[in-house]
Amino acid sequence: MTVGVISAIPEEYSKLRWDNEPKTETIINKIFQFGTMNDVKVIAAECGIGKVNASMTTALLLGHFGCDSIVFSGVAGGVNPKYKIGDVIVGEQIIQHDYGAIVNGQLISAIPGSFPGMVDEDEDVSYKMSKEMRKAVQDAIGDYAHFGRILTGDTYLACTRTREMFYEQFKADAVEMEGAAIAQVCCNWHKPFVIVRVLSDLAGNESHFDFNEFVDESSKKSANIVNKLLPVLDAWT
């Protein structure tokens, strides 16, 4: 079994814990590294920011390199007011918040690939972690993380008003820019995935300052959790 490991930015990717110096290969200007982490065979890549970069990298890991599962390690902005910087969110539900139709001034989310505006407003548009995977992840990391709803979109959120709207509309816990795209590709391939995010900021007006201060520590925490999860994904069938 081979696990694909993805991070979006250098601050996240540099914290991944290789057992030994990995080998490298470049495809379509993306550097892929091969080796082991926690004695598990992995292929890892820094995908770059955004859904297209994440989708392309995931597709290459699954389709070209033949990875059996995908795990993402990185940071996110907090949306749920009960969480604070440094808290860990594992994606139990993941939604592309910027895919859908704008109706009467409100974005109505839709299942990516469906025709926007042709679905019921109450339809579940999330990618879900299975109950079996949730239990396996929780057994591996204990109560160290929260399982929650993560939003993905191609906009960095640094607006308190929008963060409050996201919480009101989606009951979301965190927001980022890659996870749901990875989930969509993995679901099309029928491959398991886990999205791990540690809050580096609270997605409000001060986000840029918080992000710069906490991104390294949050990325390190995420990488440590992913290291514990690799044997779970390696054994998954």
Q: How far is CA 195 from the centre of its chain?
A: 4
Number of domains making up the chain: 1
Interhelix angle 207-234/131-141, nearest 10 degrees:
100
Task: Supply the range of the domain harboring residue 138.
Answer: 3-234
Tell me which residue has tokens 């999860």.
229
Q: What is the reported pTM?
A: 0.95
Per-residue pLDDT in tens (0 to 9) along the chain, 237 residues: 999 999 999 999 999 999 999 999 999 899 999 999 999 999 999 999 999 999 999 999 999 999 999 999 999 999 999 999 999 999 999 999 999 888 888 888 888 888 876 656 667 899 999 999 999 999 999 988 999 999 999 999 999 999 999 999 999 999 999 999 999 999 999 999 999 999 999 988 888 878 999 999 999 999 999 999 999 999 996
Spatial CB neighbours of 82, under 8 Å, sequence gap ≥ 6: none
188: domain CATH number is 3.40.50.1580
Q: Please give the positions annotated as active site.
A: 12, 201
Report how far residue 178's alpha carbon sits from residue 149's, in angstroms, rounded to the nearest whole number: 14
Cβ atoms of 89 and 131 within 8 Å: the answer is no
